[in-house]
Structure 1
Amino acid sequence: MSLGSASPRSPLVLALVFSSPLLADDLFLDSEPLPQVLTATRLKQSPAAVPGSMTVIDSALIKTSGARDISEVLRLVPGMMIGNISGNQATVNYHGTSASEARRLQVLIDGRSVYRAGLATVDWSDIPVAMEDIERIEVFRGPNTVSYGANALMAVVNVITRNPADSHGTRMKVTRGQRGISDFYASQGVGWRDGDMRLSLSGQQDDGFDSDRNGADYRDSRRLNRFNLAVSQALDERQSIDWQLNAKEGSNQRPYTYRPVFSGVTRAGDNSDVSAKDYAGSLRWNLDINPDHSLYIQGSAQHWDRQQTWRACDAEVSFSPQLTELWQLNPNYTERLARNIESFTGPGAPPGDPAQQALANQALAQWRNGARQTLCGDIDQSTRETRYDLELQDTLSLSDSLRLVSGLNYRYDRADSETYFNGTLDDTTWRAFGQLEWRASEHWLLQGGAMFEDTQLIGSSLTPRVAVNYLINPRHGLRAVYSEAIRSPDMFENSVNWSYRVTNLQPAAYGQSSARYFVKTRGPGDLDQEHMRSRELGYNGYFAQERLAVDVKLFHDEITGMISEPLRNNQFIASNANTARFSGAETQLDWRVGTADRLRFTYAYINADASNPQDAQQTARHSGSTGWMRDWGKGWNSALFYYGDDALNGYRFERIDTRIAKRIRLGKASLELAGVLQQRLDHQPTTFVDNHYDERRVMYFSAELAL
């Protein structure tokens, strides 16, 4: 597939090619049950009835892809832009926006959000779930604030783990390979009369990228260990309880990037590594009141702990009260003064208003009177975030043609950081949601929904969605969707109070062993929500005789009030001043050819237009994937995948992944040996100029024993 020659009309051509069999499709459909998805509306629906575009990545596809991370698997989703800030920091965006932040994507693990509200991020490599425990990943490709609230602005990724009842027995797996790859997985599943349990332990390790733009070693390796316990218990014929405990600990290397402001000072360290610990627990009570009425109550608690301390050196004048006051008056003037302080040999500071120039002259006098001496101290950039979430959902079939899902949600978020918030900041969110599905006739399906949300820090909002689906038959449907969505500014963007307290100063600064650096950043505190309007036309169909699933989507999305400023402590002034538009087409095809072969194809054409060029950095105009999976018999199987995009942050990405596996029967047990080869076809960095590998290929091998 040549990405550069692909046309935006490709999905329409596919639709025409595949629409002709619809007329000949047997009205008496085969007995194969219709697949069901949950993520779109919180109602179980067939793909043809969904008010939007869905991609479902099943466990077989996850395994044959050979992917070690959730972010890598998402390369199989059309329109999903996968990049890397560093080797242990992936960035995932649907349709794009900033290359370094993923602020507009909701990510769920069994319905529990892992989006960190404090620092506006998802730690993809630190999500505490093993790939081997995932049953499927459902991706709703489009805004879905209606169902999941703010931050579900552009898409929703819902990772659904295997039911403990389907996890009985023992599984053990080890993976070893180049670039320091060293993974393990072990699980034990048991069942009793009314319940089932799965306990799994897993870990990952690798070395990240090899070198930066200058050829120096790149410090971005990672190591993590995970613990997962899932239990499902039936209380009686109508009630059940599901609960989970998850924990993860590990370390992520970070390159030392601090550059002293004042001349004559050298850097003090070689790393600013992060020690990461995550804990989560959830409990869900399910009640089937009758065949047409059910509800659940789910509560969860999560805690993210990122310990990061490093050592820095700078001139004593960095802690000058006058320089601090000057920064608050005029950051640009102050930075120019500090960066060029050696060049001011005359009696006065650079021209400015009288108040600024008076403070600048005092800082210059301190510099000339000895405040140029080098001081070194410790900086604690650690963060801790906590979330408590409680949700009630009620699902009711009012008649054979009318279904309603409604619910309430309460969430409490707290972020604690000496550096970013000068202490603790918290927020509470209340939500009420509803989705109505009306089957007006055999062919027409009308759907509407809304979410009311109120947050302590931002205020309230109401977002609607309306959709019309024309079902040619239960397996083939056309759709037209209009939806609105919002994204609330996160704590960092709106309420940041960012400054560095340096402790253990040697020697003391102005007589103190602990002092704050002169650069201080405050959030505006009055940001509004980002607002998105989305329009979509699409087709979803499953040709039973050919076992071929097809989805085609045309879209036009507009975001207003967009917060685009980068998150850095250097004149960070967040605003709602930007806009962006994304329009184009997507298609995906999944074809099971006979009993041995499976073919898969995705393609996205995206035209991005943004008032701030940074908001189009992570948007490839052409992107896609192809895959061929085959069962050769006698325990042998193989998979071949191609992934490509024409430009992510200006860099092309093309890669071919090959996996070959052999399953060996050992009595009642089985052993699978597999090898994966990833070969880059381009010769460019990955997303950023510093992300380089010495070799364009990597190999790793795994052995998995199932008892």
Structure 2
Amino acid sequence: MKSAIFLSALAAFWTANSQAAPPSIEDLGLEDLVKTDITSVSRKSQSLADVAAAAFVISSEDIRRSGAQALPDVLRMAPGIEVAQIDSGRYAVSARGFNGRFANKLLVLVDGRSIYHPLFSGVMWELDPAPLDDIERIEIIRGAGAVMWGANAVNGVINIITRHSRSQAGGAINVGAGTQGAGNVYARLGRADQSGSSWKLSAQGRHKEPSKQYANRQDSDDRLSNAVVDFRFDRDLNAGRDLSVWANASLSTLDDLWMINPQFRTVTIPGLGPTAVFAGITPIRLRQTTESQSLVGRYRWLSDSGVESSVQLSANRSSIDIDHVIKEERTTFDVDYQSRYSFAAHDLLWGFSHRSSSDDITVPGTATDYLGIDRTAYTQRNSGIFLHDDWTLLPETLKLGLGIRWDHASRNGSYISPNATLLWTPSRSDSIWFKYAEAPRTMARAEQDISVFSSVNVTNSGGLSIPTFIFALPGSRAGLRAERTQGVEIGYRKQFSPALSGDISLYRYRYTDLRGGSLGSLYSCSPAFPGYVAGACPAALQGKAAYYATSQVANELAGWSNGAELSIDWLATPDWRLQLSYSWSQLDMNEYSNTAQQNMARFQEKSTPRHYGSLRSQWNIDTRQQLDLWLRTSGGFERYNAPYTTSIRVPGYVTIDLRYAYRFDRNLEVALIGRNLIGARRFEYISDYISSVATELAPSLMLTTRWAF
């Protein structure tokens, strides 16, 4: 399969018609930097200069020229977004800190439909939500966005907007093959007619061979294979009405090594006799299979009275199956309605949303020593209504935005989320904005119903290694509250010239009721040690020289998050574009007299890089050739080295990606891409809640070809 992909790419390269007419400079993607529109901030189309928020737009051309093959890698170019690759397919992605495998304070949408997973309130990035070639743009809003988008839009919103099917008429085939067994195939076919109807059907497959374990350079077990099929139909119904229908199916398999298998050896101890003592933890090889099927429909219309409205309905079936550990099957229904009406100096927007998500979770008997569930089936419901008004105080100069949202969640009850913005545009090239916002993060299914082996603390006593195995238990259903945030932002956006723009934003947010873990019971697993209670330890630890402890999820932590973000976009010459982004962040947690709470708070402060930067260069050498360079850097941070309770520092890094592309004609392009070219090897992430091994990132090459017909 890999050889066939590689040969196909070479064949396309050598058989292309090199005498075809070259494209114009404009076709190569260096566009006017002034006319960027964004829709996700206020659920309406606005110029970026009129947005009172820290916003960033990644265009389809930016995606193509980045050379990235996975969506999280594309997001690295945005300020305020932290991306850490875990292995071949898994990523940790967050906005403004609090990153992790199950980061839960960033809401991700595809065409306005939330794709966060209620099991852990995060996103499974290994399951491609949409092929990169089908994406029109990615809109990224940092900061709380709960009024418009509801719970979990705490630190930011990412809206992946796919291309209208009319722009995808015809066909396309893209093939890529590279080192480390990487291979990609994308195919698309579409049609548009004069009646206003258009459709497209696309399919994508990705594969990657296992990477190396960082600790010992041995092969890891993170082989990735996934596929996605995407269909879209659009119909212009005239008179301000249109209809869109999406259908999407994806499948992903990704192997992993979990450090959850404790090893014991029998030794004879004076006074105790033959005793099973701790000899370390070895990995278990597991396979994760994830599936998702979605059907979405959206209808938009304009009434005779001038009210713009839309309603979007979606249904999704998904499953997660981790061999011999857990299997979840889920059905989710979403309804989202909004209307907009402008009168006098007011631009009024209102709407409601509802989500119902039902799951069925099973844990096989062989996994109960390190995973358990209280309720195997549950339906989680979230409903909300919102109202927002943009009030023009001074035409083209001063605008006040006021919004409020009421939500009710089956887990957390009801809560209110307000926001207020003030946008001052003293000139056509200057925008100064201020924002106050609040947002909740509702509890995930796992936080109230699932217990899991989290870590082991090893101490030495009399020459023996005595482990304490810690299991994280779910929080109290009656006492666990939603996490809350409230804070302020101030920003300045400047259009220095038609070719140079920039913006800077400062923020300070207060977080309360953050999750922590309260130490619970402690038991000895051997009658020879104090604290022994028959049957208290899991079967795998019974009779061993070990202790068993529990911790319970609780609202224990609070703190402040402060930061600054900078973005500059410069068309240095008609053929050369530079794009810079930089983020600085700092988390200051409360001081606690309780030692366990204080340790958690201090560790939380250290778990986010202070600095994160990106510098991209896009150069059109001539009408056929492009050379793109991407310099990326991140500061170091600390994480727990799960399953052990010791921490380890993830070093900062500086690396470069390069892309050279040659266009034979308007429809055929071949590119050579090099990623992570500085530094022989590194790791970007240490596992937190799931004890998987750390894998290395090494330099890689890929050859791609794109053919449109």
Pairwise TM-score range, normalised by the shorter structure: 0.7 to 0.9
Q: Determine the structure 1 residue equivalent to 2:659.
A: 659
CA contact (8 A) 2:471 2:551 kept: no
Among 389, 413, 417, the alignment partner of 1:463 is 417
Q: Distance in 2 between matches of 1:456 and 1:217?
A: 44
CA contact (8 A) 2:34 2:495 kept: no
CA contact (8 A) 2:232 2:245 kept: yes
1:435 equivalenced with 2:388 (yes/no): yes
Q: Determine the structure 2 residue equivalent to 1:691.
A: 694
Among 550, 572, 583, the alignment partner of 1:571 is 550
Superposition pairs for residues 501-516 of structure 1, below 5 Å?
none
Q: Distance in 2 between matches of 1:495 and 1:634?
A: 59
- Offset of residue 263 of structure 1: 5.2
CA contact (8 A) 2:356 2:379 kept: yes
Q: Distance in 2 between matches of 1:63 and 1:289?
A: 39
Structure whose residues are more often strand by fraction = 2
1:675 equivalenced with 2:629 (yes/no): no
Distance 1:216 1:33, change over 3 A: closer
Structure whose residues are more often helix by fraction = 1
1:392 equivalenced with 2:342 (yes/no): no
Q: Determine the structure 2 residue equivalent to 1:625.
A: 614
- Offset of residue 70 of structure 1: 1.3
1:536 equivalenced with 2:489 (yes/no): yes
Q: Secondary structure at the match of 1:43?
A: coil
Among 225, 229, 254, the alignment partner of 1:252 is 254
Superposition pairs for residues 149-548 of structure 1, below 5 Å?
149-192=150-193, 193-260=195-262, 270-290=284-304, 292-310=306-324, 380-399=325-344, 401-419=345-363, 420-442=373-395, 443-496=397-450, 521-525=473-477, 526-543=479-496, 545-548=497-500
Q: Distance in 2 between matches of 1:32 and 1:86?
A: 35
- Offset of residue 36 of structure 1: 2.1
Distance 1:692 1:518, change over 3 A: closer
CA contact (8 A) 2:33 2:500 kept: no
Q: Distance in 1 between matches of 2:186 and 2:562?
A: 42
Q: Secondary structure at the match of 1:575?
A: strand
Q: Residues 502-552 of structure 1, C-alpha deviation per residue, up to 9 Å, x if partnerless?
A: xxxxxxxxxxxxxxx997944311311111112111111223x44222111
Q: Residues 227-278 of structure 1, C-alpha deviation per residue, up to 9 Å, x if partnerless?
A: 0001101233232210100001121101143314765699998521111111
1:598 equivalenced with 2:577 (yes/no): yes
Q: Secondary structure at the match of 1:93?
A: strand
Q: Residues 591-626 of structure 1, C-alpha deviation per residue, up to 9 Å, x if partnerless?
A: 123321111001111122235234335421111100
Q: Distance in 1 between matches of 2:33 and 2:142?
A: 26
Among 632, 635, 641, the alignment partner of 1:643 is 632
Query: Cα RMSD over matched residues?
Result: 2.7
Q: Secondary structure at the match of 1:273?
A: strand
Q: Distance in 1 between matches of 2:265 and 2:510?
A: 46
Q: Determine the structure 1 residue equivalent to 2:141.
A: 140
CA contact (8 A) 2:126 2:252 kept: no
Q: Residues 316-375 of structure 1, C-alpha deviation per residue, up to 9 Å, x if partnerless?
A: xxxxxxxxxxxxxxxxxxxxxxxxxxxxxxxxxxxxxxxxxxxxxxxxxxxxxxxxxxxx
CA contact (8 A) 2:33 2:498 kept: no
The aligned amino acid for 1:642 is: L
CA contact (8 A) 1:97 1:616 kept: no
Q: Distance in 2 between matches of 1:592 and 1:33?
A: 11
Q: Determine the structure 1 residue equivalent to 2:643.
A: none
Q: Secondary structure at the match of 1:255?
A: strand
The aligned amino acid for 1:430 is: S
Q: Secondary structure at the match of 1:577?
A: strand
Q: Determine the structure 2 residue equivalent to 1:76.
A: 77
Distance 1:423 1:163, change over 3 A: same
Q: Secondary structure at the match of 1:179?
A: coil
- Offset of residue 124 of structure 1: 0.9
The aligned amino acid for 2:685 is: T
CA contact (8 A) 2:97 2:585 kept: no
The aligned amino acid for 2:329 is: R
Q: Distance in 1 between matches of 2:248 and 2:552?
A: 37
CA contact (8 A) 1:98 1:614 kept: no
- Offset of residue 179 of structure 1: 1.2
The aligned amino acid for 1:592 is: L
Question: Percent identity of the aligned residues?
Answer: 22
Is the deviation greater in 156-165 or in 96-105?
A: 96-105
Distance 1:497 1:415, change over 3 A: farther
Distance 1:653 1:136, change over 3 A: same
Among 601, 604, 626, the alignment partner of 1:615 is 604
Question: Aligned pair count?
Answer: 586
Q: Determine the structure 2 residue equivalent to 1:314.
A: none
Q: Secondary structure at the match of 1:87?
A: coil
Q: Determine the structure 2 residue equivalent to 1:554.
A: 506
Q: Distance in 2 between matches of 1:269 and 1:583?
A: 38
Q: Distance in 1 between matches of 2:33 and 2:628?
A: 26
1:583 equivalenced with 2:583 (yes/no): no
Distance 1:33 1:652, change over 3 A: closer
The aligned amino acid for 1:688 is: I
CA contact (8 A) 1:144 1:153 kept: yes
The aligned amino acid for 1:685 is: F
- Name stretches of at least 5 consecutive residues in structure 2 with no aligned partner: 1-31, 267-275, 364-372, 455-468, 519-537, 539-548, 591-600, 639-648, 688-692
The aligned amino acid for 1:179 is: Q
Distance 1:286 1:388, change over 3 A: same
Q: Determine the structure 1 residue equivalent to 2:368.
A: none
Q: Determine the structure 2 residue equivalent to 1:341.
A: none
Q: Residues 91-148 of structure 1, C-alpha deviation per residue, up to 9 Å, x if partnerless?
A: 0011211433211100000001010012232111213310010110000011111111
CA contact (8 A) 1:43 1:405 kept: no
Q: Secondary structure at the match of 1:460?
A: strand
1:119 equivalenced with 2:98 (yes/no): no
Distance 1:179 1:535, change over 3 A: same
Q: Secondary structure at the match of 1:235?
A: strand
Distance 1:565 1:67, change over 3 A: farther
Distance 1:678 1:98, change over 3 A: closer
- Offset of residue 300 of structure 1: 0.5
- Offset of residue 687 of structure 1: 1.8
Q: Distance in 2 between matches of 1:546 and 1:287?
A: 35
CA contact (8 A) 1:421 1:498 kept: no
Q: Determine the structure 2 residue equivalent to 1:700.
A: 702
